[in-house]
Amino acid sequence: MKAKMVIGVVVIVGALIYLMVSGFRDSSVYYMTVSELSGQKAEVINEGLRVSGYVDPQSIAWNAEKIELDFTLFEGSDSLRVHYKGVIPDQLADAQGVLAEGKLTADGRLEATRLMLKCPSKYEAKLDEKPGAGSTQ
């Protein structure tokens, strides 16, 4: 009876460890900038990755019928085409920076599954301002 219990516990613990390791491996993605990616495109095709860059506002093409978004991320002279299926993030054109997560296709386009925007600095407090300094009492 004791041997069956020990075997059962070992099998359950082994299964939990396997699920945790495989889940971590599938969800882990490498983070790089557009410039870093431009030199490594062949090595990361079909790999999960996060790419940081800036949106070219003139490149934004929204298809409301298909709920698809195409735009270009850039950093310096390097650029990356991005395709995203989903709702267009508010203030995409105003974003100072974008972090796009997805997989790079063979034709060099990022098929994004998630977009994260860095808000424009106009929403951040100035460093020399103190909170509430402009309010009257």
Is 6 domain-assigned? no
Picking from 124, 101, 122, 105, the residue whose alpha carbon sits closest to that of residue 113 is: 101
- Residue 12 is inside which H or E element, if any? helix 2-27
Is 135 domain-assigned? no
Is 30 domain-assigned? yes
Q: pLDDT digits over 2-54, tens only? A: 888 889 889 999 998 888 877 665 555 567 888 888 877 777 788 888 888 98
Residue 63 has pLDDT above 70, yes or no: yes
Is 81 domain-assigned? yes
**CA 37 to CA 114: how far, in whole Å?**
18
Indicate which CATH number applies to the domain containing 32.
2.40.50.140
Picking from 70, 38, 73, the residue whose alpha carbon sits closest to that of residue 55 is: 73
- Residue 82 is inside which H or E element, if any? strand 78-85
Specify the number of domains making up the chain.
1
Is 20 domain-assigned? no
Is 10 domain-assigned? no
Is 76 domain-assigned? yes
Residue 137: predicted pLDDT: 47
Is 13 domain-assigned? no
Residue 98, domain extent: 25-121
**Residues 50 and 37: beta-carbon distance below 8 Å:** no
Q: pLDDT digits over 86-102, tens only? A: 888 877 777 678 888 99
Which tokens hold the place of 82? 């991005």
